[in-house]
A = this chain, B = another copy of it.
Amino acid sequence: MGAMRALVFQKPGRIAWQEVPDPVVGDPADAIVRVDAVTICGTDLHILKGDVPDVTAGRILGHEAVGTVVETAGGVRTVRPGDRVLVSCISACGRCRFCRESRYGQCRGGGGWILGHTVDGTQAEYVRVPFADLSVHPLPDSIDSADAVLLADIFPTAYEVGVLNGAVRPADTVVVVGAGPIGLAAIVTAGFYSPGRVIAVDLAESRLAAARSLGADATVNAGEEPEQLVADLTDGLGADVVMEAVGVPEAFEMCTRMVRPGGRVANIGVHGKPATLHLEDLWIKDVTITTGLVDTSSTPLLLRMMAAGRLPSSSLITHRFELGQMEEAYDVFGRVEETGALKVVLGGA
Contact = CB atoms under 8 A, between A and B. Distances in A.
Contacts of A304: 171, 196
Quick one: which of A133, A278, A283, A300 has the most chain B CB within 10 A? A283
Interface in A251-293: 252, 261-262, 267, 269-280, 282-293
A91 interface: no
A287 B105 CA distance: 13
Interface stretch (A3-11, A93-101, A208-216, A337-345): A93-101
Copies in the complex: 4
Interface centre among A165, A262, A293 (most CB of B within 10 A): A262
A106 interface: yes
B196 A308 contact: yes
A73 to B, nearest CB: 9
Contacts of A228: none
Interface in A288-319: 288-293, 297, 300-301, 304-305, 307-308, 310
A335 interface: no
Contact of A279 (B262, B267, B293): B267
B77 A109 contact: yes
A275 to B, nearest CB: 5
Contacts of A293: 283-286
A18 interface: no
A289 B273 CA distance: 18
A21 interface: no
A320 interface: no
Given A28-B74, A102-B101, A279-B252, A170 B192 contact: yes
Given A101-B102, A106-B286, 13 more contacts: A75-B75, A105-B284, A105-B286, A192-B194, A193-B193, A193-B194, A196-B308, A247-B283, A274-B279, A274-B280, A283-B291, A286-B292, A289-B290
9 contacts: A29-B75, A74-B75, A77-B93, A103-B262, A267-B279, A274-B280, A275-B276, A286-B292, A287-B290
Interface of A: 28-29, 74-75, 77-78, 93-95, 97-98, 100-103, 105-106, 109, 133-134, 165, 169-171, 191-194, 196-197, 247, 249, 252, 261-262, 267, 269-280, 282-293, 297, 300-301, 304-305, 307-308, 310
- Return the 4 tightest CB-CB contacts between A and B, nearest first: A75-B75, A271-B279, A171-B304, A277-B277
